[in-house]
């Protein structure tokens, strides 16, 4: 029979006994029943009130009792006549019943308990351990246990050893995330799943050794801001496939690490950044916070009015005085980079204070260019000395151009 309380169809057995006198005639007599183990008990009905004495029935001399035992294994049942004389013995085998409540733990390869919510990628290799027990807490050999993950795609069955132990090593995560597992079929399919603590995987970062380099913290708007660095894993950990996150305000830019942990990213100035911006560098999913923040100050680049850099020119170059040609301006710095959004003022020196005086103010576009119409305004067919003063910067420079007005043809 199975171990149990006697209420199930298989966790009790019926003992039928008949008393005979010296003439082999059935007769009524009082007997006491004693089990080898205290977990066993007798009753007149299945799962009924425990008894210790039974009286055989008149005429037939028979009696029937139910036996149940919680402890598994061989049990000896002794029947005494009048509590003193041994009348007989029975041997019963009580079969183990697997309890639905197994003992679960998560250990490392060295059998030490680990914290499953702080697993390091490339370093930790957790092992699920299940101790299968019977109804009295004793180990169960050859019990079937089914391991299953949250995605229902990595199930595996295992059988307990003689100590009731079942182990399983799930495949470790290679990127940060949470993996949930449970075991089932302990004691049969009627058992509810038992869940292990979630396995939470993190990058193991050696933050103190991590290097972040900046091209500069103050630079002109026409020069790039270059970030670079190297992330190092903690001892034994892996950062293969890790992503560095660059944050500028509410914007986030992911950068995948190279195989050697290096990375680089270039930021070009944008009007939305204004005069300064805060740049954050972090590695999401790290076991411990490892973040860096830098304030970058953008300055207006300085124009260079030397020949070969910034320029002022007219198209066509020798206009007739009754036409309206176009004046162009291109502002560059001393590296030859165009300066966007820089203001300038233009006027004619030759026509200054006359009725034909002309002036113009403007701002270059993102490529450092701008243009405007330059009328003659009855100045006539004369040389017209003009200049543009580039302003709005820490320094200013002057671009000169002579318009050679010609008489109408």
Same domain, 234 and 289: yes
Final residue belonging to a domain, choices 44, 74, 94 = 94
What is the DSSP code string of 209-258? G-EEEES-SEEETTS-EEEEEE--BPTT---TT-EEEEEETTEEEEEEPP
Q: Kindly give the confidence (pLDDT) of every residue in the chain, 409 residues in length, as a single tens digit, with 9 standing for 90 and above.
A: 999 998 888 999 999 999 998 899 999 989 999 999 999 999 999 989 999 999 999 999 999 999 999 999 999 999 998 777 898 899 999 999 999 899 999 998 888 888 888 899 999 999 999 999 999 999 999 999 999 988 767 789 999 999 999 999 999 999 999 999 999 877 766 788 999 999 999 999 999 999 999 999 999 887 899 999 999 999 999 999 999 999 998 899 999 999 999 999 999 988 889 899 999 999 999 998 899 999 999 987 888 898 889 999 999 999 999 999 999 999 998 888 888 888 999 999 999 888 889 999 999 998 999 999 999 999 999 999 999 999 855 567 899 999 999 999 8
User: What residue numbers bound the domain in which 259 lies?
Assistant: 207-299
Same domain, 138 and 56: no
Same domain, 197 and 118: yes
Same domain, 113 and 197: yes
Residue 108 lies in a domain: yes
Could you tell me the CATH number of the domain that includes residue 188?
2.60.40.10
Q: How many domains does the chain have?
A: 4
Same domain, 74 and 118: no
Same domain, 321 and 391: yes
Could you tell me the CATH number of the domain that includes residue 316?
2.60.40.1930
Residue 110 lies in a domain: yes
Residue 316 lies in a domain: yes
Same domain, 261 and 281: yes
Final residue belonging to a domain, choices 202, 236, 259 = 202
CA distance 3 to 395: 96
Final residue belonging to a domain, choices 69, 94, 119 = 94
Residue 72 lies in a domain: yes
Q: What is the dihedral of CA 253, 258, 261, 266, to 10 degrees?
A: -40
Same domain, 125 and 148: yes
Residue 3 lies in a domain: no
| DSSP letter (8 states) at residue 57 | P
Residue 87 lies in a domain: yes
What is the DSSP code string of 147-202? EEETTSS--EEEE--TTSEEEE-PPPPSSSEEE-EEEE-TTSTTSPPEEPPPEEEE
Q: Which residues pair with 328 in a beta bridge?
A: 313, 371
CA angle 144, 150, 152 (to 5 degrees): 65
* pTM of the predicted structure, to 2 decimals: 0.70
Residue 7 lies in a domain: no
Residue 251 lies in a domain: yes
């Amino acid at each position: 029979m199975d171990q149990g309380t006697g209420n199930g169809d298989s966790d009790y057995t019926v003992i039928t006994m008949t008393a005979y006198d010296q003439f082999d005639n059935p007769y009524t007599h009082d007997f006491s029943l004693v089990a080898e183990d205290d977990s066993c008990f007798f009753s007149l009905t299945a799962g009924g009130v425990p008894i210790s004495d039974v009286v055989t029935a008149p005429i037939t001399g028979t009696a029937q009792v139910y036996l149940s035992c919680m402890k598994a294994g061989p049990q000896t049942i002794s029947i005494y006549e009048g509590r003193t004389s041994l009348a007989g013995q029975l041997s019963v085998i009580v079969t183990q019943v697997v309890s639905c409540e197994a003992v679960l733990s998560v250990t490392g390869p060295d059998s030490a308990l680990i914290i499953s919510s702080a697993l390091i990628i490339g370093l930790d290799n957790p092992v699920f351990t299940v101790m299968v027990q019977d109804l009295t807490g004793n180990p169960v050999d050859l019990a079937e246990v089914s391991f299953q993950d949250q995605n229902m795609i990595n199930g595996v069955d295992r059988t307990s050893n003689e100590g009731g132990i079942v182990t399983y090593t799930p495949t470790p995560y290679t990127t940060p995330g949470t993996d949930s597992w449970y075991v089932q079929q302990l004691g049969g399919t009627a058992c509810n799943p038992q869940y292990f603590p979630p396995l939470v995987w993190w990058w193991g970062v050696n933050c103190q050794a991590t290097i972040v380099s900046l091209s500069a913290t103050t630079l002109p708007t026409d020069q790039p801001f270059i970030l670079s660095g190297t992330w190092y894993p903690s001892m034994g950990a892996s950062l293969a496939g890790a992503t560095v996150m660059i944050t500028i305000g509410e914007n986030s830019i992911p950068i995948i690490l190279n195989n050697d942990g290096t990375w680089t990213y270039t930021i070009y100035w944008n009007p939305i950044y204004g005069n300064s911006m805060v740049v954050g560098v972090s590695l999401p999913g790290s076991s411990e916070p490892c973040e860096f923040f830098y304030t970058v100050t953008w300055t207006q680049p300085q124009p260079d009015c030397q020949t070969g850099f910034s320029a002022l020119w007219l198209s066509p170059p020798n206009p007739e005085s009754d036409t309206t040609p176009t004046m162009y301006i291109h502002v560059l710095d001393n590296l030859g980079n165009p300066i966007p959004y820089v203001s300038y003022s233009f006027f004619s020196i030759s026509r200054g204070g006359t009725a034909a005086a002309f002036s113009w103010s403007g701002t270059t576009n993102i490529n450092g260019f701008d243009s405007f119409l330059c009328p003659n305004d009855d100045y006539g067919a004369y040389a017209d000395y003009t200049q543009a003063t580039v302003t709005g910067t820490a320094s200013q420079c002057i671009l000169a151009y002579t318009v050679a007005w010609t008489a109408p043809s």
